[in-house]
Amino acid sequence: MRKQPIEITDYANTITAALRRGVLLTTKNGEKVNSMVIGWGHIGRIWELPVFVAYVRDNRYTREMLDANPEFTVNVPVNGFDKKAFTVCGTKSGREMDKLAEAGLTPVPPEVVSVPGLKECPLTLECRVIYREEQTAARLPEALRRRFYSVETEDHIAYFGEIVAAYLIED
């Protein structure tokens, strides 16, 4: 398997558009790898660094994984959307199962961080967390709270990940 390095600015619109359908955020702690679907995120520059900001609910297993190992990959499908994989990764918890195996996803060794990419979602950003900020839903305008939060305790944490490698996985 080959990895074609990419310029993230050339793919920023592709990544942003894919977020509307969902992309996978993959984490690793020890030997355990977990992916979850995210629809909220930003790609850009801050502190003169290329950064992807991922929002993870405080009660998610992914948050535990990120706090134990502050690295992640963003995995973007570019040749279609595997409904089964996204259903498993978007509705099941990695606490109870191996979501990658259940979803039929193939881990690909990373270049810089400890977290693999995914063959089936070949546009890959490898990220190292450089900042973490708790997002309190109670501070949002009421209309947004009602629309996006079923209970006030479902806060998010924003993980600012410096993009340390970016590539397309090719067969």
Does pTM top 0.95 for this prediction?
no
**All structural domains of the chain with their residue ranges:** 2-170
Buried b / exposed e along 43-76 (16+ C-beta atoms within 10 A):
beeeeeebbbbbbbbeebbbbbbbeebbbbbbbb
- Looking at residue 10, its pLDDT comes to 96
pLDDT digits 0-9 by tens, 53-111:
999 988 888 999 999 999 999 999 998 778 889 899 988 889 989 999 999 999 999 99
Domain spanning 2-170, CATH class = mainly beta
